[in-house]
Amino acid sequence: MSINFQREAPCPIAQLLELLGDRWSLLIIRDAFYGVRRFDGFQQHLGISKKVLTMRLTTLVDAEIMKKERYQSKPERYEYRLTAKGRELFPVLLTMMRWGNRWLVDEGEETVQLLHSNCGEKTEPRMVCSHCEQPITPARIQAVPGPGANREVVQAFRQIVRKSEVKKES
């Protein structure tokens, strides 16, 4: 029902959230970036229940965000590692970290910071255009229907645009 912009719809953000939009998945991936690899490690660092951890890891493996690899065979034991698809979630976590540090943590009270080994300095990631390399801001970015947009999506876009214009006038 409703215009085709919701969760099971083709919006890439909605699709990502469909997969990872619970309270644990992105924390598991964060820990994986920190180097955690084993069931027990995730469980202890996160304080997540085993049942939910099993479910989340299964989902992540099925989605090919993580892969399960045997690291010993006498008793078979596996570890979970990020795939390329998983590693590319790095920018998502970085922008989240930046926003959290900026708005949820008092200044000077940050518990985590980022060091860029290129320049050796503390860094705050910035977004730039892949084309002109200029900064990206909401005002200078426009979302437009892509090649896979069907009539419904275009329609939804029009409606949203029209509505937001109406609001501006009043």
Partner DNA sequence: AGTGGTTGGTTTCTTTTAGAGACCTGATAG
Partner DNA sequence: CTATCAGGTCTCTAAAAGAAACCAACCACT
Which one of DNA, its own copies, none interacts with residue 114, CB within 5 to 8 A by kind?
A: its own copies
CB of 7 or CB of 102, closer to DNA = 7
Residues 68-97: x where in contact with DNA by CB under 7 A, - otherwise, as a string? ---x--xx-xxx------------------
Query: Which H helix or E strand runs over 50?
Result: helix 50-62
58, 68, 95, 158: which one binds its own copies (CB under 8 A): 95
Q: State the Cα–Cα distance between residues 92 and 132, nearest whole angstrom.
A: 22
Could you say which of 20, 29, 36, 57 contacts DNA (CB under 7 A)? 57
6 binds its own copies (CB under 8 A): yes
Evaluate whether 145 touches 157 at the Cβ level (below 8 Å): yes
Does 11 contact DNA by CB under 7 A?
Answer: no
Residues 6+ apart with CB under 8 A from 49: none
Residues 127-166 touching its own copies, rule: CB under 8 A, are 127-132, 134, 136-138, 140-150, 153, 156, 160-161, 163-165
- List binders of its own copies among 33-72 (CB under 8 A): 33-37, 41, 44-48, 71
Q: Mapping DSSP to helix (H, G, I), strand (E, B) and coil, where does residue 72 land?
A: strand
Give the one entry of its own copies, DNA, none that residue 39 binds, where binding means its C-beta sits below a cut-off of 5 to 8 angstroms depending on kind: DNA
* CA dist., res. 63 & res. 84, Å (int): 12
- Of 167, 161, 126, the residue nearest 143 (C-alpha): 161
Residues 5, 11: contact at Cβ < 8 Å?
yes
